[in-house]
Structures are given as C-alpha cells and as structure tokens.
Structure 1
C-alpha cells in the first residue's frame, strides 16, 4: 500500500505517498507482486490523481526493481537510507515520470 513514514532520507520524501510491498517467500516468482502492485498504483491514481508517488528499493533487490518498473516507477536517483545504498524511484498517474 501507500504510507508516509517520514523517513530520514535525502532528498526528503515526506508528504509524498510512498508505495511499499512485501510478500512471503512462498509467494515469490508467481507474478503476485506485479499484480498486487498494479492494483495498488491503480488505486493511487484514483485517489492521488496526477500526484507523484515514490518507492525506495535496495539496489540488490532485482525482483522488486522489476515489479516497480513494470508498474511505471523509474529510478530518479541513488541515495542512502540507514547507511545502506538505496534507489529512489518515482511514478506519476498513468506511469509517466517527470
């Protein structure tokens, strides 16, 4: 779903709806994440309109990066979160990025 965790991250994403997902390992590789995230972003498009949404993903999490990209998220920069490399991705309604 979407949340605003008020993360201490640069650049700040406070106030921007942040998408997040996690699946039990037994559900990995079945296409469920792409389907669920697709429904999440469709709901977000309806609720947030053309507003930007973001997600952060560990650069080593290739599966989540693919799910994000399939659902219109595009990398905008690499940063750190909790002293670990992190990719910040963004999406606009309809999958367009700024």
Structure 2
C-alpha cells in the first residue's frame, strides 16, 4: 500500500504568493529568471555544499521549470529573492516536494531550501527571506512540519535553520553525500505546546 501524501497549499495565483519584507521582494519564478538562476547554481561557492559539482545549463532549466510547476500543481514552491530598492537578484528560497528517496522520508513534509549569491551574503538577507517564507508556511500549514537537508559542512545554513526553529532529526546520506535532516514544527503547534 502506498502511503505517499501529496502536500498542497490553498490554491491561489502566483500573484498572491508575492511577499515583501523591509528590504526584499519574494516572488514565484518566471521564465525571465533563468539567466540569474543559472548564474546562482553554476557558482562554485553555491554548489560546494549542494552536490560538489557545478550545475549545468540543462539542470538549471529543469530546476526553473520544477519551481514554476510546484506553484501550478501544488500551490507552493520557491521564490526569487530580489532587493526591493535595486531589483538585484539575491537568490532563491522556498518549499518543495521532491519525492526524495531518503530515510527518514519527507513524505507529507514540505522541504525548505535556500541559496544566495555569494556577493550578497552577510547582509542578513537569508534571515529576512527565511522569516518571511516561514511565516507564509505557518499560515498555509498551521502547526505543520517542514523539513530541510543540509550538508554537515554548511555551518551558515545550519545556523540559519536552527535560528528559525529547525532541529536536527538525523545524520544520513543522500545521493552518496553526508547530509543532516532537520524538522521544524509550525508556529501554532509551538504556541499550543507552551
């Protein structure tokens, strides 16, 4: 018996998924974001913790279509993160259902991820974007669990995750790489538990 659960958010247009913070705009991807997304995932500093090799143009195109498809099919996905004043591309953050073959399973748990352009790191943008994305998630899945996978060597991402309530569940491997799996329980479950 297949116990796979499809996670979905309330149906809405990608227009309503746009988020503004003090310094950033988060909006679902469009085809016009391809060049910047490809630049992000072909940067050696970014890919160092993801797979250890640079992303190809073909992989970047598939990733972009997957991001767009998440919003269309599931009502959630990744956002392009841009500076509000300059419209500069900062990076990407969001939630996905990748149907990964990993233990423990992510079945029924939206998986969060993020990546920022190295030149724009260290400005607090990752924290600001994560705060906004997780507030959105708490409204979509009140009391729900979100998860993420992080390389044990990626100390900056581990700090960001734990700062936002993610706790390490297990150290495991995925695609022959060591990885840590983290879970975060949504705001309403943390409030009701206190």
Please indicate the TM-score interval, normalised by the length of the shorter structure: over 0.9
CA RMSD of aligned residues (A): 1.2
Q: Which has the higher relative contact order, 1 or 2, with Cα contacts under 8 A spaced 6 or more apart?
A: 1
1:31 maps to what in 2?
124
5+ long unaligned stretches in structure 2: 1-93
1:21 maps to what in 2?
114
2:184 equivalent among 88, 91, 97: 91
Q: Deviations over 1:7-63 (max 9, x none)?
A: 111111123111111101111111110110111111000001111110000000000
**SS of residue matched to 2:153:** coil
5+ long unaligned stretches in structure 1: none
Q: Is the Cα–Cα contact under 8 Å of residues 5 and 14 in structure 1 kept in the other structure?
A: no
| TM-score of the aligned structures, taking structure 2 as reference length | 0.48
| TM-score of the aligned structures, taking structure 1 as reference length | 0.92
Q: Is the Cα–Cα contact under 8 Å of residues 57 and 86 in structure 1 kept in the other structure?
A: yes
Alignment pair present for 1:77 and 2:170: yes
User: Computing the radius of gyration over CA atoms, which structure comes out larger, 1 or 2?
Assistant: 2
- Structure number having the greater helix percentage: 2
